[in-house]
Structure 1
């Protein structure tokens, strides 16, 4: 196992740029309790900044350090300047250790790393970075001179005075402002909610239950026609869940295509999602990629193999028989 200990960061920190404070474009924050107990590197989920996907990790060998990865397309030339701050946070903030780096990354060289110190020095009592078996590292980064990548700002669903908004989805007590027409075109569920026979014509606030705000915003950023946000490994399952709940065929199709192309989601997990959301194209794609006994063994050795339905298992064995 990999140590995946990551918490969403606090609001972006600022730095001085030409005498003006500028918020960080992206922030990763790691809690290292599992890394300290297991010895494994700690990985972040994927986030999207300036329309570009990013990941980060904190790693150890003889040295202790952190790396930032840009996951943008590597087949088309692009480049950007990057300012990075990696910080080991001390309980006494005056003793924080900050390492700064400025670099240029390009389509064929997409990561940057910083080194803090020797690992044995980091874990020593003398430094005092570890408290109750835990420690915190934060990676902040600022992007400039973006070349070869079209950047689109994310839509703002918190703006009540935007003339395009004529309704609010109330999720976990927070209002998310939307266009009824945009959602109704995408979803028969929203169409009925807004314009159905029993809908109140003057109603503008609509309660949405059993879902969290982050998931709803992720869905809106995908289905709005002016948005360019990408589906990620971390968001795809929730998007399928919402696509199914609100009957958004476009969202389900986008998620299915993402899963077909994804090399990071396991085949067993893909098969489970194909079952749950009736993704025939995804199921067919996985079966066609199984070529020998080794491929089947990898699926059968998965800890979630037992969750597959009998019908899917029968299809797997039929495929194995066909290629034997």
Structure 2
């Protein structure tokens, strides 16, 4: 079973394009992987400038994020204009917290070919290749200090997790069978789990212990393990977080709902689409890889006829 890829899409539906003044910035904050990211757009010298900001405080300590970013404008017809940066790096060693294109496209071209009713859909697809010095704080420890309270040790990527068989078995039918079934693991005090990321597994365990661990950073990794280990309550808690607390984009949420068959989340995402621009932002460009299956794509396209611009 593969671990969750650290990637996300920032989406921004810009309003009142014609009123954007020279050197005036439009941007909105959003958080992914425990880092505040945001899109920034500027009108400068006859061009539309397009950036992705990573606003980690300078006094945070040593940190670095290596990314690849695809910057994209999306028209009403699904036509898109893209530029890609392969080494868009951020961190304490860099003077600026942004990466992008000062002359992404001519302003006139943007208005004629990609804006509609004074609105513009912009997206940045960010793939995190390496991240150091930043992690989501741990709520509960599963190290040797918990050994006296545990009756089994799970080993993931050479890291030991001291846990309770009963707590895991109640939450997961997979672990229930492993610990109390006829498998040879039921008699072992140490069990190695393969194909699992230790960081994701830590947050998964926290959720099984009913800790409020979920963030935009870790929820997809936890969902992968909840599916892998047949932990239905963990899946439900992830879905409730994505519906009620997560500030992630509708595009990312809808993709997660399809990947893990989360029907309530899918319904929430569809009902949250209030305009044709919202749907264009979710669907993305027509020349990219399909983000959703044909059934949801066709449904969204049909819904555009009942929505305002």
Shorter-chain TM range is 0.5 to 0.7
Whether the aligned pair in 2 keeps the contact of 1:157 and 1:178 (CA below 8 Å) is yes
Task: Indicate whether 1:175 and 2:175 are aligned.
Answer: no
Structure 1: state its 5+ residue gaps.
Answer: 5-42, 48-53, 58-65, 70-83, 90-117, 120-137, 141-151
1:295 CA drift (Å): 1.5
| CA distances 1:217-240 after superposition (whole Å, capped 9, x unpaired) | 111112203x333x1111111011
Task: Indicate whether 1:192 and 2:177 are aligned.
Answer: yes
Structure 2: state its 5+ residue gaps.
Answer: 1-5, 7-29, 39-53, 64-94, 97-131
Report which of the two structures shows the higher radius of gyration computed on alpha carbons: 1
Task: Indicate whether 1:224 and 2:240 are aligned.
Answer: no
Task: Indicate whether 1:257 and 2:228 are aligned.
Answer: no
1:216 CA drift (Å): 0.5
Task: Indicate whether 1:320 and 2:304 are aligned.
Answer: yes
- Alpha-carbon distance between aligned partners in 2 of 1:184 and 1:172, rounded to the nearest angstrom: 22
- Alpha-carbon distance between aligned partners in 2 of 1:204 and 1:139, rounded to the nearest angstrom: 33
- Alpha-carbon distance between aligned partners in 2 of 1:298 and 1:320, rounded to the nearest angstrom: 12
Whether the aligned pair in 2 keeps the contact of 1:268 and 1:302 (CA below 8 Å) is no
Aligned residues: 200
**Residue of 251, 263, 272 corresponding to 1:268:** 251
- Alpha-carbon distance between aligned partners in 2 of 1:169 and 1:88, rounded to the nearest angstrom: 31
Task: Indicate whether 1:287 and 2:287 are aligned.
Answer: no
Whether the aligned pair in 2 keeps the contact of 1:169 and 1:175 (CA below 8 Å) is yes
- Alpha-carbon distance between aligned partners in 2 of 1:297 and 1:286, rounded to the nearest angstrom: 14
Whether the aligned pair in 2 keeps the contact of 1:299 and 1:305 (CA below 8 Å) is no
Provide the residue aligned with 1:203 in structure 2.
188
Query: 4+ residue runs of structure 1 moved beyond 3 angstroms?
Result: 43-47, 54-57, 66-69, 84-89, 261-264, 302-305, 321-324
Residue aligned with 2:166, SS: helix
Q: 1:189 to 1:299 in 2, by over 3 A?
A: same
- Alpha-carbon distance between aligned partners in 1 of 2:180 and 2:216, rounded to the nearest angstrom: 34
Provide the residue aligned with 1:309 in structure 2.
293
Q: 1:190 to 1:270 in 2, by over 3 A?
A: same
1:214 CA drift (Å): 0.8
**Pairing 1:134-173 to 2, within 5 Å after superposition:** 154-159=139-144, 162-173=147-158
Q: 1:241 to 1:139 in 2, by over 3 A?
A: closer
| CA distances 1:174-212 after superposition (whole Å, capped 9, x unpaired) | 221110000000000010011112345431111211111
Query: Could you state the TM-score of these two structures normalised by the residue count of structure 1?
Result: 0.52
- Alpha-carbon distance between aligned partners in 1 of 2:258 and 2:201, rounded to the nearest angstrom: 23
Whether the aligned pair in 2 keeps the contact of 1:166 and 1:180 (CA below 8 Å) is yes
Whether the aligned pair in 2 keeps the contact of 1:268 and 1:305 (CA below 8 Å) is no
Query: Could you state the TM-score of these two structures normalised by the residue count of structure 2?
Result: 0.54
1:288 CA drift (Å): 0.7
1:262 CA drift (Å): 5.0
- The higher-RCO structure (CA 8 Å, 6+ apart) is 2
